[in-house]
Amino acid sequence: MDLRGKVAVVTGGAHRVGKAIALALADAGCHVVVHYHTSGEAAATVGEIRSRGVRAVAVAANLAEPAGREMVFDAARRELGGVDVLVNSAASFQRGDVLSMSQAEWQQVLDINLSAPFFCAQLAARAMQARGEGAIVNMVDLSAFRPWAHYPAHSVSKAGLRMLTEVLAKALAPAIRVNAIAAGPVIKPPDWDEARWQTVGSHSLLKRTGSGYDVARAALYLLQSDYVTGTTLVVDGGRSIA
């Protein structure tokens, strides 16, 4: 897919990995809908995107709610003319204990990490089919392959999103391609110190952490490569096999 002039929706696009992808899409010539929930960085991100000579709009919405998802895609249609690309980057990263996690806590994570990407893909695919083509990228992480005992709902949701990627790829072919990225340590959590972050990087084959730019380049590859669908591209410096 030639991304020049296309319209991309990036959920969770105001900060961290989502922002890196949104900026990379802008550099490739995409107009961008930046979805966010509560991030205070949305206006600045939209400004950075517009400085690249493309259009951008920020939409605040709770993707766990049907009305919130509709708001995002209504804005894409109204402000930018439709949807050609969807990047499902918004996610909840909640720690939990399997013996004490409540149903509400469990459901909250799955609503954002699994149900929202499905229903966003559904809305996007309807618009893409009318335009004749489209591409979707879902953001998973290494918990899609290896269980994280202290993040049970998160692990299950990301494993489910990986399978959903394959289901959507099969169901929406040939007009719409669907892929996923499993990112390793690329952006330091705000509550971590530098020493802890460097230790994590030392456990990968490349002996370092990555960056949002590494993930953004992977996203561009998947979106632009017309013969790739149904795959999960691991971007982790070899950590998963170290």
> What is the residue extent of each domain of the chain?
7-241
Neighbours of 234 (CB within 10 A): 21
pLDDT on residue 69: 98
Between CA 115 and CA 157 the distance in angstroms is 9
Distance set, CA 146 to CA 21, 143, 152 (Å): 25, 5, 11
pTM of the model: 0.96
Local mean pLDDT, 10-residue blocks, the chain (242 residues): 98 97 98 95 97 98 98 97 98 94 97 98 97 97 94 97 98 98 93 93 96 97 98 96 92
pLDDT on residue 189: 87
pLDDT on residue 39: 87
| CATH code, 7-241 | 3.40.50.720
Q: Hey, what amino acid is at 178?
A: V
pLDDT on residue 155: 97
176-183 β-sheet, strand order: 56-60, 31-36, 7-11, 85-88, 134-141, 176-183, 232-235
Distance set, CA 82 to CA 70, 105, 149, 242 (Å): 13, 34, 40, 43
Question: Per the omega criterion (within 30 degrees of 0), is the bond before 174 cis?
Answer: yes
Q: Which residues are catalytic?
A: 151, 158
| Residue 129 near residue 53, CB atoms below 8 Å | no
Q: Within a 13 Å sphere around the CA of 79, how many CA atoms are in the beta-carbon half?
A: 19
